[in-house]
Structure 1
Amino acid sequence: MGGARTNIPRGPDRRPWRFDLALDPTAAVPRQTQLARALVAEIQRGRLAPGAFLPGSRTLAAQVGVNRKVVVAAVDELVAQGWLEALPARGVRVAMNLPRSPVGDVQARRAEAPRIVERGPAPLRIGDGVPDARIAPVDALARAQRRALRAHVRTGQGYGDPAGDPVLREVLAGFVNQARGLSCSRDEVVLTSGSQGALSLFALAMLKPGDVVAVEHPGYAPAWRAFELAGAAVVHVDVDAHGLRTDLLEAAARKLRGRLKAVYVTPHHQYPTTVALAPERRMHLRRICEQYGAIVVEDDYDYEYHFDGTPLLPLSATAAPDGPPCVYVASLSKLLAPAVRLGYVIAAPATVARLRATRESLDRQGDVVLERAVAELIEDGELQRHARRARQIYVQRRDLLLQRFAASPTLAASFACERPSGGLALWVRMHSPGAVDQLLTRARREHLELAPGSVHLARGEVAAFRLGFAAHAPAELTAICEILERCLSRRLRTAR
């Protein structure tokens, strides 16, 4: 690639006098990317030989017709990639040893347009109680993440604390102390990837083969799998209208003869039935765990969403200092969106030490940028304001769904449903036990996906399903009710 092959007029130091590069102002690709690709193309075809100097940034900007910042950004990128070299007091020249791999001008090949295939309408899926990501403060979160990323890069920080970002842990401690009646410090908080990550971390850190964990039945099956993955056995204890049957729990603990390691509960809004653990059973649960040396694992997955009356305080908020150990698990994903995987554990210092050591062995730390961004949202009050707005929206959606159930003779004759005091879903029971499978099949034909209540059981079946209402706008809830009416009307006509 000698100078004889170039047709760019040159001056001293083999510096070209002008550049004939045209950028497209209407292109979707940023101008700095266009300029970088154009320069690499000139280098590859020999018009810019190794050692040739580029014009100054102001001159090149004027010749190409762009802002000088565009030129500086493109040149900095190509210096970083090895196409150009910056020489102090002399300028920028084409690198003497060019990269083997053409990075700067790589452009993904446009995929062939997919063939249009006629499909039916997309199914309407009823979740088990997730928030509506469409109302989440995603713009505020994105801005906070950009600021957090820039700050993290500028300070040159490496790996962080396995327990999570200390700023968010400090903010969360104040948040739960004020809003949920807990009394904890930053050193008692461990950040995790959602509440499921918290349960898995607890299981790996605190359980061993041969241990037994008592769980609610019906209950949260992913928690059972986390305990079993750690080698523990799971014993299922029935739930009724007042929550966990602590009389059955006590009988099971007695038979286990000291092997009961933990009791996993969702006392605020029991998953999936939404009932609250009665006060007398809360006290009984503590006595059982104290007597048999078991840890109370409290999953408070949707505390913010309480609509009626005064919410019960978490078990951890009323635990006595000399009482049974309590591990508190919660999630910020329910406040923002399922895609935002951020949960936390609050526990005694000895437990936190084991959680930190296990976390460090698994993945060293969490998402530091996300954690710092969420800390900013809490400190600014953005998350609290969003929670208040979301509560108002979700209680209206709950009431709309219940009103539709009550106003429809078909739905009223088929379903029984208690009005939950909070949460993001209804536990809908069917009067006809054998009708669940028929309803699910007919609903699927109408492009409505429902999950049977049996997915929350370890054994047997239940004539019920969990109907998440929070993620659906009023028009969607109305459409869901209309589909259910059609499906159930056909079933009733068939029955007659």
Structure 2
Amino acid sequence: MDLPLEPDSATPLYRQLVQAIARDIRRGRLRPGDALPGTRTLAEELGITRKVVVTALDELVSQGWLISQPARGTFVSPALPAHAVADAEPRRAEVRQAPGVARPSVLTLNDGSPDARLAPLEALARAYRRALLRLSRKGLGYGDARGDGVLREVLSSFLNQARGLSSRPEQLIITRGSQMALLLAGKALVRPGELVAVESPGYTPAWDAFRFVGAELCPVPVDHEGLRIDALERVLARGRVRAVYTTPHHQYPTTVSLSAARRLALLALAAKHGFTIIEDDYDYEYYYASRPLLPMASTGELRSVVYIGSLSKLIAPGIRVGYLVANEQILERAVAARATVDRQGEPALERAVAELLEDGELQRHARKARRVYEGRRDHLVSRLRAHRHLREVLEFDVPSGGLALWLRAREGVDVEAWSRRAAGQGLLFTPGSAHGAERLARQGFRAGYAALEPRELDAAVTLLGKSA
């Protein structure tokens, strides 16, 4: 087949192939019923990978240009589509601005979101299309409240290999992001009025999830080694605690890691007092200096730990895929709660994510993102240290991983007033008081660097200095 492709074009190769085959069909060079060469043969003829060919043919089948017959091959459809979708290029809307009106420019030092501009969206879109085709009508009906079985199997294997868990697919539930997982954990573990100990300062959306199910919260302070075990022991001495919520990899918001000694002490306390540890491992993939400590869920066969994670931090915040790993008893209650509030997840998205995990696409993306985010962390650190005024009013430790710095203002600096002044100049950040009432929270704020390119970080530091 004579299908000219341009490897240097901005249009992806698979899209060029889709357009070229559709043009040949419309011009009559390929007629209804004609057989196409096999994918390997076509890839060799065109000098491209077989994966590109498969993706293009899947797209043409979904649009109605081709039909695929098992054990026979791929043929031009006898009933061609009415609209030439395959060859259409989207028109970019032209944004007009009123004369003399400046375009608003706002930078955000967020809480540590990844950069969606780096996400493997084209690979995800292709996998999503393939998932829709393979699942068909039957696979897109009502299904298991635990989520897609393929993703649970792939994810269980991934967690066991990469994070040392000993999980089985039946011990996982796929959720719409980690926030749903937190809510389900609370619903499965806590009765109204029971006590949940939480880190303070801490992740307040988790606090909201536990309050939603009727829990009473008890704040436990953190320091440079994470959750303070001595403070937790004093809480335990006053009465029964049903669960302890912690972010041990990079404590939210301070970014410190829970030390190995404290992890062991926390596990021992859980065994002694009968509470469950809710381990929120929201950014395990992002480590720079060395590999992180294995999760607490990697010990003890999930006897006293519920493990929560998210693929949204790995792909993009808008791709809502999280998970909860627990023993069968807890998982059964979580599944029942999920079936009540949401029934099930999105099969096509979950199957597409499973393909990206199984093919290693997400692992490759994680390696690339780690390099980029480490560079952005170092860039922000160097700019803060070089700024004459900011280095006098801010202190910080450089975290070994994660997506944000925890900046501590010196005594006498009103961080809330600072954030209001910064907002007036086009820089948004959340004062630490949003994470708790302690002085550690009030005098700090989280500066996410991952979602900003170096030039954007430069501008953010300039605005931070002007508004200080």
Q: TM-score range by the shorter chain?
A: 0.7 to 0.9
Partner of 1:196: 179
What is the CA distance between 1:73 and its match in structure 2? Answer: 10
Q: Which of 451, 460, 465 matches 2:430?
A: 451
Q: Which of 233, 236, 241 matches 2:224?
A: 241
Please list the CA deviations of residues 334-387 of structure 1 after superposition, one character each: whole Å capped at 9, or x if unmatched: 000000001001111111111111111222111111100000101111100000
Partner of 1:483: 463
- Partner of 1:434: helix, strand, or coil? coil
Q: Which of 250, 265, 280 matches 1:269?
A: 250
Q: Which of 318, 321, 328 matches 1:339?
A: 318
Partner of 2:160: 177
1:281 aligns with 2:292: no
Partner of 2:80: 69
Instruction: Answer yes or no: is the 8 Å Cα contact 2:286–2:403 preserved in 1.
Output: yes
1:312 aligns with 2:323: no
What is the CA distance between 1:115 and its match in structure 2? Answer: 8.3
The separation in 1 between residues aligned to 2:337 and 2:350, in whole angstroms, is: 19
The separation in 1 between residues aligned to 2:99 and 2:193, in whole angstroms, is: 55
Instruction: Answer yes or no: is the 8 Å Cα contact 2:303–2:327 preserved in 1.
Output: no
Mark the CA change 1:356 to 1:412 in structure 2 (over 3 Å): closer, same or farther. same
One-letter amino acid of the counterpart of residue 380, structure 2: L
Mark the CA change 1:72 to 1:391 in structure 2 (over 3 Å): closer, same or farther. closer
- Partner of 2:317: helix, strand, or coil? coil
Mark the CA change 1:230 to 1:459 in structure 2 (over 3 Å): closer, same or farther. farther
Please list the CA deviations of residues 207-263 of structure 1 after superposition, one character each: whole Å capped at 9, or x if unmatched: 11121100000000010111111011000000011110111101101101x3x1000
What is the CA distance between 1:442 and its match in structure 2? Answer: 2.1
Instruction: Answer yes or no: is the 8 Å Cα contact 1:436–1:464 preserved in 2.
Output: yes
Q: Which of 450, 459, 465 matches 1:470?
A: 450
The separation in 2 between residues aligned to 1:351 and 1:115, in whole angstroms, is: 58
What are the equivalent positions in structure 2 for 1:395-434 lying under 5 Å apart? 395-434=374-413
One-letter amino acid of the counterpart of residue 275, structure 2: A
1:362 aligns with 2:353: no
Q: Which of 373, 380, 383 matches 2:352?
A: 373
Please list the CA deviations of residues 290-325 of structure 1 after superposition, one character each: whole Å capped at 9, or x if unmatched: 1211001000000000111231110111x234x851
Partner of 1:158: 141
Instruction: Answer yes or no: is the 8 Å Cα contact 1:433–1:462 preserved in 2.
Output: no
Q: What is the RMSD of the two structures over their aligned residues, measured on CA atoms?
A: 2.1
What are the equivalent positions in structure 2 for 1:18-417 lying under 5 Å apart? 69-71=80-82, 118=101, 121-155=104-138, 157-256=140-239, 258=240, 260-317=241-298, 319-321=299-301, 325-417=304-396
Please list the CA deviations of residues 17-47 of structure 1 after superposition, one character each: whole Å capped at 9, or x if unmatched: xxxxxxxxxxxxxxxxxxxxxxxxxxxxxxx
Give ranges in structure 2 of 5+ residues lacking alignment. 1-77, 86-95
What is the CA distance between 1:440 and its match in structure 2? Answer: 1.4
Mark the CA change 1:121 to 1:347 in structure 2 (over 3 Å): closer, same or farther. same
The separation in 2 between residues aligned to 1:440 and 1:353, in whole angstroms, is: 44
Instruction: Answer yes or no: is the 8 Å Cα contact 1:331–1:344 preserved in 2.
Output: yes
Please list the CA deviations of residues 54-107 of structure 1 after superposition, one character each: whole Å capped at 9, or x if unmatched: xxxxxxxxxxxxx96244999xxxxxxxxxxxxxxxxxxxxxxxxxxxxxxxxx
Partner of 2:43: none
**Identity in percent:** 48
The separation in 2 between residues aligned to 1:115 and 1:192, in whole angstroms, is: 44
Mark the CA change 1:329 to 1:448 in structure 2 (over 3 Å): closer, same or farther. same
- Partner of 1:409: helix, strand, or coil? coil
- Partner of 2:285: helix, strand, or coil? coil
- Partner of 2:277: helix, strand, or coil? strand
Partner of 1:21: none
One-letter amino acid of the counterpart of residue 287, structure 2: H
Give ranges in structure 1 of 5+ residues lacking alignment. 1-66, 75-112, 489-496
Instruction: Answer yes or no: is the 8 Å Cα contact 1:180–1:313 preserved in 2.
Output: yes
The separation in 2 between residues aligned to 1:183 and 1:137, in whole angstroms, is: 29
Partner of 1:90: none
What is the CA distance between 1:150 and its match in structure 2? Answer: 1.9
One-letter amino acid of the counterpart of residue 380, structure 1: D
Give the alignment's TM-score, normalised by structure 2: 0.78
Instruction: Answer yes or no: is the 8 Å Cα contact 2:226–2:256 preserved in 1.
Output: yes
The separation in 1 between residues aligned to 2:281 and 2:178, in whole angstroms, is: 9
Mark the CA change 1:72 to 1:398 in structure 2 (over 3 Å): closer, same or farther. closer
One-letter amino acid of the counterpart of residue 213, structure 1: V
What is the CA distance between 1:328 and its match in structure 2? Answer: 0.2
What is the CA distance between 1:432 and its match in structure 2? Answer: 3.5
Instruction: Answer yes or no: is the 8 Å Cα contact 2:201–2:438 preserved in 1.
Output: no
Please list the CA deviations of residues 268-295 of structure 1 after superposition, one character each: whole Å capped at 9, or x if unmatched: 1000000011122112111221121100
The separation in 2 between residues aligned to 1:333 and 1:134, in whole angstroms, is: 13
Give the alignment's TM-score, normalised by structure 1: 0.73
One-letter amino acid of the counterpart of residue 468, structure 1: G
One-letter amino acid of the counterpart of residue 249, structure 2: H
The separation in 2 between residues aligned to 1:270 and 1:233, in whole angstroms, is: 21
Mark the CA change 1:438 to 1:189 in structure 2 (over 3 Å): closer, same or farther. same
The separation in 1 between residues aligned to 2:384 and 2:100, in whole angstroms, is: 37
Partner of 1:30: none
The separation in 1 between residues aligned to 2:100 and 2:331, in whole angstroms, is: 53
One-letter amino acid of the counterpart of residue 134, structure 2: A
